[in-house]
């Protein structure tokens, strides 16, 4: 393969992974924006979405299965918020983050016992396991285009929702100034539930669309959550576009690392870069430095 | 399932067999802790398992020091090399699997290859054998990469493979989901060279996972997977057919070689116990070591003082995937 | 009365330790000492974490990495065959200093490796520098950023251990030899040394507890409480908060590494899973379960829960149990279940509930090392990390 198309191929494979991280990072970002919580269980929502969809797909056509999975997992997200976080309002954010870690472990084990340890996947939306789209000497699976399309759609939808609908604007108000929002009559706890449900649903959608690529199994949640979280922080929390950019960047960095170093260190490279960014510019590449937020000096 | 069968048919020499189950969930320190429990508290006759090489290695020295009979279901060579008096294993040796792969390659005129393996114990063991045996079999390794077993996508590593000119085949040593991912990603990238998988590919579900991409995959495996194709006079046919029938009717899923290893380990211990005559660990160990010609699912076992695996190259056969099914590979 | 209450746990501890062993000998269940010893070593890690999280208020989701660094450093140095460097001058010096020794393994192979003491010291040194390197930039972060940084660090260590041949890749390292601490005293997994090793572990734990207790009651300890309660105020009072936090971080890392070294020699090996996120989260769960700032509570809970886990009581639900503990305890009793339990018991037995003065943040003389009643990490400091005013702040 000549250099040009080789570089392009690495880029495309970086985008493949990056799109997966991006679609997970958006969910992280949403909950964070609305509630200030980093939800480590976000990866499990992705996993649940895929699992439920695969089960449903045995009985109903694929699009219905996906819609069903999104609905079910969104409901689960809402219920979790109601059951847990509603009662924990006086707890510090850090406590809540630790709780989400515990939650992620419990959901993972529950999935193991509800389904089993086997790997499963949804069928490719278009084409099959062997089809690919050629582009200037490089190739990519059509499913990746579906993922990218979903990401774009979600970002657009979120933008419209947050800017132009009442609920969306209420959510934005909650995140920027909860006290003022309360004074304006916005029901903050309900907003929180809504954001959890929405984030869970988004996660489920992500899980469905990436399922043919990554395959769905009970353990997939944790590594995805970590990478998605890293991507969201790299881009800068608080901004869905930044989350997407962060995700794509992480994917491309990993691919770049594979091209130069032994492939086994690609995770190390991604996390090392993340640590570097955290130490040097904690608000992320595209985040705005709000004065006393992340550092004390 | 087996314990019930054995006990139903009168036990071994009249004594019932009791199974003490401990699930380590792949955690090495739990393996050590449970092994100590089994040795010191439950005082079992023999330990069967664990199924991963990492855990087995953690308890190998422990069992040897405590004179506890260990029949492992893990494949690493290091389990039986150096040979420990009390430690045996039942899966075929990785080196045998590799030799089958390399010899098939030579038949096909393949000399330059790429090796991919996962970061777990299984992948690491395979990688070592592939590297050690390459030179003597006349194979040149152009690319040798390890990937995280939980990777979400492997196109970047396969791009690296594609970038090296002259790669004639790819060998992948891992378990799901990576196994299927490699197959799919190769086809998606247009890397149309033969794909060899490890004997870890031995489950029809993995073929389903990879779908159309699995066609033509080559891998060595025990004959359990193609038992229906065996001629009736094949020494293993009866045992394999019986096991397959029992397993599939009881558990409603396809047999795989992994369940087969558990079967072999238990049946071998039972047989050794029968020959020893009494549940005395030393006698059973000696009986096991001198066991010859025992028909199991993985092959025909013949142990000796220097060979605690008991299987030779004939335990394997080269299989391939055709029309979504396993079938013997004909040259 | 106060002094008595403080000394009491220290005198009870040896009694319980010896008592447990004698009971086991009498009931012929001495093999349980194995799991107990392993649990005690894990508890030492959590003690260090308790200092960091409960007293200094810093979260670390990567402490498994320090345990692994200690364990692996000593494992590699005591198993890797350095004979290839036989000719080198430095090898000669090390041999003369008895740091590099020749030994045989179970199968008769000879190798030249470091002596366990040399390996231990090297491991501690390495951990010291790594903790310093990571701690310095990381501790300037707050809340979830610090959490992410420590998590990232833990993952990097875990993946590097997994991917490198010298650390045994996925299988880890086996065949780690016994460690002769003193003539007649050795850290080893052999059944013969079981009782001895149990006492070694408990002795080490006691040492650590004494050390930490003295630390908490010293100037440094009070500085920590000040930082925990209101960091800017502490700064204003002239406390060098950055240096303080860094010292605590490094100390907790060293404790974890030390536990790792002992553990590795005891079980004869180590695997990459010890550095993973799951283990690190488990340590956090145990610290929370004991009451973040309650050293004794933490010790008791860690030993108890790890012991049960190692004996297989949780079966296939092992991870889920720790996850559930994390959720339940932090949501219901962020200061640990022992305090509400104590209150409930007191109500049952009709004794007076603690007097109002004990809620004074400066009042330290309680049985249970509470830094302050509001041992939950102060919401204010963390809300600031996210740039928003306290949520649901009922004024």
Rounded to two decimals, the ipTM of the complex is 0.83
So what's the pLDDT on residue C70? 93
Query: Is the CB of residue C233 less than 8 Å away from at least one CB of chain A?
Result: no
Give the integer Cα–Cα distance in Å for C213 and C340: 23
So what's the pLDDT on residue A44? 93
**Per-residue pLDDT tens digits for A131-182:** 888 888 888 888 888 999 999 999 888 888 888 888 778 877 777 777 787 7
Q: For residue B54, count CB atoms less than 10 angstroms from its CB and return exposed for 0-12, middle for 13-18, buried for 19 or more.
A: buried
Has residue A193 been placed in a domain? yes
Q: C377 vs chain A: nearest CA distance in angstroms?
A: 7
Dihedral sign (CA C18, C24, C28, C33):
negative
CA distances from A175 to A185, A231, C197 (A): 14, 21, 55
Nearest to B58 among C107, C190, C269 (CB): C269
Q: For residue B39, count CB atoms less than 10 angstroms from its CB and return exposed for 0-12, middle for 13-18, buried for 19 or more.
A: buried
Question: Contact at 8 Å (CB) between C336 and C288?
Answer: yes
Query: Span A61-68, mean pLDDT?
Result: 91
So what's the pLDDT on residue A183? 82
Query: Is the CB of residue C35 less than 8 Å away from at least one CB of chain B?
Result: yes
Has residue A285 been placed in a domain? no
Chain A positions in Cβ-Cβ contact with residue C286 (cut-off 8 Å): none
Residues in chain C: 395
pLDDT score of B14 more than 60: no
More confident residue, C28 or A196: A196
Interface test with C, best of B20, B22, B29, B65 (most C CBs within 10 A): B29
So what's the pLDDT on residue C363? 35
Has residue A162 been placed in a domain? yes
Q: C34 vs chain B: nearest CA distance in angstroms?
A: 7
CB within 8 Å of B180: residues ≥ 6 apart = A119, A215, B206, B209, B210, B213, B214
Question: Contact at 8 Å (CB) between B158 and B189?
Answer: yes
Residue C36: phi and psi, rounded to 5, are -65, -40
Chain C positions in Cβ-Cβ contact with residue B41 (cut-off 8 Å): 29, 31
pLDDT score of A222 more than 80: yes
So what's the pLDDT on residue C374? 37
Residue C378: closest C-alpha in chain A: A92
Among the ranges given (A81-95, B309-323, C107-121, C133-147), the one the predictor scored with the smallest mean pLDDT: A81-95
pLDDT score of B125 more than 50: yes
**Per-residue pLDDT tens digits for B147-172:** 888 888 888 899 899 888 889 999 99
More confident residue, B1 or B21: B21
Nearest residue to B272 via CA among B13, B39, B5: B13
Q: What pLDDT band is residue A245 in, cutting at 50, 70 and 90?
A: very high
Among the ranges given (A7-16, A168-177, B209-218, B238-247), the one the predictor scored with the smallest mean pLDDT: A168-177
pLDDT score of A51 more than 90: yes
Interface test with B, best of A2, A8, A13, A270 (most B CBs within 10 A): A13
Has residue A143 been placed in a domain? yes
- Residue C110: how many other CB atoms lie within 10 Å: 11
Domain count, chain A: 1
The structure tokens listed for C273 are: 């899973």
Give residue A138's domain range.
2-280
So what's the pLDDT on residue C278? 85
Give the integer Cα–Cα distance in Å for C287 and C303: 11
Inter-chain CB proximity C170 and B121 less than 8 Å: yes
Query: Is the CB of residue A71 less than 8 Å away from at least one CB of chain C?
Result: no
Inter-chain CB proximity A131 and B211 less than 8 Å: no
**Per-residue three-class SS string for C257-305:** HHHHHHHHHHHCEECHHHHCHHHHHHHHHHHHHCCCCCHHHHHHHHHHH
Query: What three-state secondary structure class fits C177?
Result: coil
The interface residues of chain B toward chain A in range 243-272, judged by CB-CB distance below 8 A, are none
Give the integer Cα–Cα distance in Å for C222 and C240: 12
Inter-chain CB proximity A17 and B148 less than 8 Å: no
Please count the helices (runs of H) and the strands (runs of E) in chain B.
11, 12
So what's the pLDDT on residue B8? 54
Query: Is the CB of residue A232 less than 8 Å away from at least one CB of chain C?
Result: no
Chain C positions in Cβ-Cβ contact with residue A265 (cut-off 8 Å): 159-160, 163
Q: What pLDDT band is residue B74 in, cutting at 50, 70 and 90?
A: confident
If interface means Cβ-Cβ distance under 8 Å, which residues of chain A face chain B?
1, 6, 9-10, 12-14, 16-17, 20, 118-121, 128-132, 134, 139-141, 210, 213-215, 217, 219-220, 223-224, 254-255, 258-259, 262-264, 266-267
Residue-averaged pLDDT of chain A: 84
Question: Contact at 8 Å (CB) between B42 and B64?
Answer: no
Has residue A201 been placed in a domain? yes
**Per-residue pLDDT tens digits for A33-46:** 877 778 889 999 99
Nearest residue to B214 via CA among B83, B106, B317, B322: B322
Alpha helices, H only, C164-240: 194-216, 219-229, 231-236
CATH of the domain at A30: 1.10.3470
pLDDT of chain C, 395 residues: tens digit per residue: 567 767 777 888 888 888 888 888 777 777 788 888 899 999 999 999 988 888 887 888 899 999 999 999 999 988 887 777 776 777 777 777 777 777 776 666 777 778 888 889 999 999 999 999 998 888 888 777 888 889 889 999 998 888 887 887 777 888 788 888 777 777 777 777 788 888 888 889 999 988 988 888 888 888 887 877 777 787 787 777 888 889 999 999 999 999 999 999 988 888 888 888 888 988 988 888 887 778 888 888 888 888 888 877 877 777 888 888 888 877 776 666 666 666 676 676 655 545 444 344 443 333 233 333 333 333 333 333 333 334 333 33
Inter-chain CB proximity A271 and C138 less than 8 Å: no
């Amino acid at each position: 393969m000549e250099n040009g198309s080789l570089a392009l191929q690495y880029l495309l494979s970086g985008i493949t992974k990056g799109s997966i991280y991006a679609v997970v990072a958006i969910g992280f970002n949403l909950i964070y924006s609305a509630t200030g919580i980093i939800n480590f269980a976000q990866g499990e929502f992705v996993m649940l979405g895929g699992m439920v969809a695969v089960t449903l797909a045995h009985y109903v056509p694929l699009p219905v299965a996906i819609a069903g999975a999104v609905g079910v997992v969104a409901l689960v997200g809402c219920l979790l918020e109601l059951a847990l976080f509603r009662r924990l309002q006086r707890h510090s954010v850090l406590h809540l983050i630790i709780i989400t870690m515990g939650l992620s472990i419990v959901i993972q084990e529950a999935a193991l016992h509800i389904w089993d340890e086997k790997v499963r996947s949804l069928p490719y939306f278009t084409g099959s396991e062997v089809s690919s789209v050629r582009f200037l000497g490089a190739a990519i699976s059509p499913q990746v285009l579906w993922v990218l399309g979903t990401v774009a759609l979600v970002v657009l939808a979120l933008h419209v929702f947050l800017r132009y609908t009442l609920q969306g604007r209420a959510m934005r108000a909650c995140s920027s100034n909860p006290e003022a929002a309360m004074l304006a009559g916005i029901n903050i706890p309900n907003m929180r539930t809504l954001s959890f449900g929405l984030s869970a649903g988004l996660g489920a959608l992500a899980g469905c669309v990436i399922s043919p690529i990554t395959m769905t199994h009970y353990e997939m949640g944790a590594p995805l959550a970590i990478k998605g979280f890293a991507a969201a922080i790299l881009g800068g929390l608080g901004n869905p576009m930044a989350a997407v950019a962060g995700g794509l960047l992480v994917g491309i960095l990993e691919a770049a690392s594979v091209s130069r170093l032994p492939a086994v260190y690609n995770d190390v490279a991604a996390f090392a870069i993340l640590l570097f960014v955290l130490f040097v510019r904690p608000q992320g590449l595209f985040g705005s430095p709000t004065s006393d937020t992340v550092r004390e000096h | 399932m087996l314990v019930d069968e054995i006990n139903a048919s009168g036990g071994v020499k009249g004594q019932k067999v009791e199974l003490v189950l401990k699930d380590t969930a792949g955690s090495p320190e739990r393996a050590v802790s449970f092994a100590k429990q089994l040795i010191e508290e439950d005082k079992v006759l023999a330990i069967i398992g664990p199924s991963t090489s990492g855990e087995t290695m953690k308890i190998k020295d422990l069992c040897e020091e405590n004179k506890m009979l260990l029949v492992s279901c893990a494949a690493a060579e290091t389990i039986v090399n150096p040979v420990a008096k009390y430690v045996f294993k039942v899966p075929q040796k990785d080196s045998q699997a590799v030799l089958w792969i390399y010899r098939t390659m030579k038949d096909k005129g393949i000399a330059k290859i790429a090796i991919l393996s996962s970061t777990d114990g299984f992948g690491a063991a395979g990688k070592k054998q592939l590297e050690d045996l390459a030179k003597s079999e006349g194979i040149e390794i152009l690319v040798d990469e390890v990937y995280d077993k939980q990777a979400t996508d492997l196109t970047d590593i396969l791009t690296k493979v594609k970038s090296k000119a002259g790669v004639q085949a790819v060998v992948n040593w891992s378990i799901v989901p990576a196994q299927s991912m490699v197959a799919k990603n190769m086809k998606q990238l247009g890397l149309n060279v033969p794909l060899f998988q490890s004997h870890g590919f031995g489950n029809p579900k993995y073929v389903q996972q990879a779908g159309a991409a699995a066609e033509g995959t080559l891998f060595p495996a025990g004959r359990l997977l193609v038992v229906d194709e065996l001629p009736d006079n094949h020494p293993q046919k009866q045992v394999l057919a019986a096991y397959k029938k029992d397993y599939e009717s009881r558990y409603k899923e396809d047999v795989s070689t992994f369940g087969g290893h558990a079967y072999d380990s238990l049946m071998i211990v039972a047989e050794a116990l029968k020959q020893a005559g009494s549940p005395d660990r030393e006698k059973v160990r000696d009986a096991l070591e001198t066991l010859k010609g025992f028909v199991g699912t993985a092959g025909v076992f013949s142990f000796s003082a220097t060979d605690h695996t008991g299987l030779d190259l004939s335990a394997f056969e080269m299989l391939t995937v055709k029309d979504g099914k396993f079938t013997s590979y004909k040259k | 009365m106060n002094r008595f209450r403080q000394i009491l746990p220290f005198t009870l501890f040896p009694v319980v330790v010896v008592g447990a062993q004698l009971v086991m000998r009498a009931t012929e269940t001495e093999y349980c000492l194995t799991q107990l010893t392993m649990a005690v070593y894990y508890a030492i890690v959590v003690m260090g974490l308790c200092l960091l999280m409960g007293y200094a208020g810093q979260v670390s989701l990567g402490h498994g990495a320090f345990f692994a660094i200690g364990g692996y450093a000593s494992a590699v140095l005591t198993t890797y065959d350095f004979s290839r460097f036989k000719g080198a001058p430095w090898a000669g010096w090390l041999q003369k200093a008895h740091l590099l020794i020749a030994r045989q393994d179970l199968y008769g192979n000879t190798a030249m490796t470091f002596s366990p003491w040399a390996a231990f010291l090297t491991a501690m040194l390495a951990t010291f520098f790594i903790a310093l390197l990571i701690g310095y930039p990381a501790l300037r972060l707050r809340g979830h950023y610090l959490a992410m940084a420590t998590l990232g660090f833990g993952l990097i260590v875990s993946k590097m251990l997994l991917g490198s041949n010298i650390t045994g890749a996925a299988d880890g390292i086996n065949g780690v030899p016994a460690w002769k601490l003193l003539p007649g005293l050795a850290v080893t997994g052999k059944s013969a040394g079981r009782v001895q090793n149990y006492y070694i572990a408990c002795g080490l734990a006691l040492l650590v507890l004494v050390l930490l207790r003295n630390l908490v009651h010293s100037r440094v300890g009070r500085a920590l409480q000040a930082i925990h309660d209101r960091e800017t105020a502490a700064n204003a009072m002239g406390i060098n908060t950055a240096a303080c936090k860094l010292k605590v971080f490094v100390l907790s890392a060293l404790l974890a590494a030390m536990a790792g070294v002992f553990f590795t020699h005891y079980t004869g090996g180590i695997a990459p899973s010890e550095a993973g996120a799951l283990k690190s989260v488990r340590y956090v769960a145990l610290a929370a379960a004991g009451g973040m700032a309650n050293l004794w509570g933490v010790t008791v809970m860690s030993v108890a829960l790890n012991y049960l886990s190692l004996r297989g009581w949780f079966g296939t639900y092992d991870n889920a149990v720790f996850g559930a503990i994390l959720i339940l305890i932090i949501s219901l009793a962020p200061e640990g279940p022992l305090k509400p339990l104590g209150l409930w018991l007191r109500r049952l037995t009709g004794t007076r509930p603690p007097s109002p003065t004990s809620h004074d943040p400066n009042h330290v003389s309680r049985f249970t090392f509470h830094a302050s009643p509001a041992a939950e990490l102060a919401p204010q400091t963390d809300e600031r990390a996210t740039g928003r005013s306290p949520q649901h702040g009922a004024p």
